[in-house]
Amino acid sequence: MALSPERITELQLRANDVREGIIRALVAAGSGHSAGPLDMADVFTALYFHIMRHDPANPDWPERDRLLLSCGHITPVRYSAMAYAGYFPVEELLTLRKFGTRLQGHPERVRLPGVETTSGPLGEGLAQGVGMALAAKIDRKPWRVYVVTSDAEHQCGLHWEAMLTGAKFKLDNLINIIDRNVIQIDGSTEDVMPLEPLADKHRAFNWEVFECDGNDIVAFIETVERAQKVTGKPSVIVAHTVPGKDVSYMEGDYTWHGKPPNKEQAEQALRELHEQRERILAHA
């Protein structure tokens, strides 16, 4: 279904909100990951505000779609999207990584309603998603499972075992979304442990493969809609993203993978995001 210009603007502004929430949370915490959360703001905005069936007032609604965050270190983007979606007050983002907070550095299922799994060690999320998707098939339930994975965690063996299992059971209710930002904590994925040809590897495992610009909300939504129509096999979306998206001094710089901005850097980031908001409105 084509999005109206008004709806596109609304989603773009919401993604801008999510990025602001990420920056405010990280500077308040004094620790955490910056580049990945910022580059996935458009994807999480699309999921929470357009694609998924969910109910912030009833996080355990049995018919909800399941969203698993395998790369738990980018959880500031999930928290920010959840806050703006109404799962908890936006002000609570400032408790990120504080002692006793519900907003742990990696998401914990038992702490925050609406979080489906506890994630920490990389490479586990797709296996968990395969199990949920298989359960939905067995129970003849209509809900879908979306798993967000990093590109670097494809260096983990368990992830590929999950890909085998997902294909074996023809889990067409499962969509894996890869944050293909080409960075990890020590540099480029292609220097540390090359992943290409990533799309062809998925095809060899009998997954339906899609690629898109992960920082284009419309392109991502259209790609998900295509993936939802696939039958007889699971789908993967390789979402090409820019690390640190919309913050000039972070964009494309792998050193921001695992550190937060300081107060002055955060102020600059928020100014740039305000300017981006004005550009969105000017083109509306």
CATH 3.40.50.970 for domain 5-282: yes
Q: Could you report the per-residue pLDDT of 66-84, keeping only the tens digit for each?
A: 999 999 999 999 999 999 9
Strands (E), the chain: 66-69, 145-150, 174-180, 183-184, 187-188, 208-213, 235-240
Mean pLDDT over the full length of the chain: 97
Residue 25: pLDDT band by 50, 70, 90 thresholds? Answer: very high
Q: Could you report the per-residue pLDDT of 59-70, keeping only the tens digit for each?
A: 999 999 999 999
Question: What local confidence, expressed as pLDDT, does residue 251 receive?
Answer: 98
Closest by CA position to 33, among listed 111, 96, 110: 96
Q: 271: helix, coil or strand?
A: helix
Question: What local confidence, expressed as pLDDT, does residue 121 receive?
Answer: 85
Q: Could you report the per-residue pLDDT of 149-191, keeping only the tens digit for each?
A: 999 999 999 999 999 999 999 999 999 999 999 999 999 999 9
Q: Could you report the per-residue pLDDT of 201-244, keeping only the tens digit for each?
A: 999 999 999 999 999 999 999 999 999 999 999 999 999 999 99
Asked whether the predicted pLDDT for residue 1 surpasses 80, the reply is: no
Residue 2: pLDDT band by 50, 70, 90 thresholds? Answer: confident
* Residue ranges per structural domain of the chain: 5-282
Question: What local confidence, expressed as pLDDT, does residue 95 receive?
Answer: 98
CA torsion, ordered 159, 165, 167, 171, to nearest 10 deg:
-100
Q: 197: helix, coil or strand?
A: coil
Phi and psi (nearest 5°) for 236? -130, 135
